[in-house]
Amino acid sequence: MTTTLIPNEINVNDRVRFYSEAFPKYAPLHIFNGSIYGEWRLGQNFKNTSDYWGAYPEQYLPRATSLFPEKKEVLHLFSGKTPPGDYLRMDKNPANGSEIVGDAEKLSSYAKIYKPGGFDIIYADCPYTKEDADHYGYCMISRPKVLRECWQSLIPGGHVVWLDQVVPQWSNDDWFLEGIIYMFISSNRRVRAVSIFKKVVV
């Protein structure tokens, strides 16, 4: 049977169900006060074949994208060595081969050109510290500035899935914090937070 997904009707209950259907053997995500919460222990499944500094663990994107099967207009921001696919990638370093080469702090001016109708979802994986930013040869970003640029580049009801060591500062006027999932890779590695923001439109 084919199910037609209507984006505006999808809620957090559907999202945790999508995740459990995709990963029936993993601990389920939960809902409290209308938000998703949970933990992803990559553990023995941890694998990273990319030697790029700060690359996603291979388990991350399959899990994160399983929550949002209806999203069509997708941007990977701070895309690094994310392989090409049915989405756009944006990174400041031209050597990484992304479709959009530019500064995330100016994202909305690029979005107007590359996706004038707006993105449905943005997956972001910024440098976490000044030391990380130094590895790439760039200044550390302003998280609030980039989050604001994401807001301007999304359709109403669009999402940002932001992987970081912190939950970036957000405004309740702009965003509903629809979920936080803690990601634990293995001992002595950084614990990260996957923050899920939904664009609020008044």
Ligand X SMILES: C[S@@+](CC[C@H](N)C(=O)[O-])C[C@H]1O[C@@H](n2cnc3c(N)ncnc32)[C@H](O)[C@@H]1O
Residues in contact with ligand X by CB under 6 A are 50, 52, 54-56, 78-82, 91-93, 96, 103-105, 125, 127, 136, 138, 141
- Residue sitting closest to ligand X (CB): 80
Q: How far is the CB of 97 from ligand X (least distance, A)?
A: 11
* C-beta of 105 vs 174, nearer to ligand X: 105
Question: Least Å distance between CB 136 and ligand X?
Answer: 4
The values of phi and psi at residue 194, to 5°, are -100, 105
Token pair for residue 188? 């002595």
Compare residues 10 and 140 and give the one whose CB is closer to ligand X. Answer: 140
The least distance separating ligand X from the CB of residue 200, rounded to whole angstroms, comes to 25
d(CA 172, CA 170): 7
Q: How far is the CB of 51 from ligand X (least distance, A)?
A: 10
Query: Judging by beta carbons within 10 Å of its beta carbon (0-12, 13-18, 19+), is residue 107 exposed, middle or buried?
Result: buried
Q: Which of 25/130 has CB closer to ligand X?
A: 130
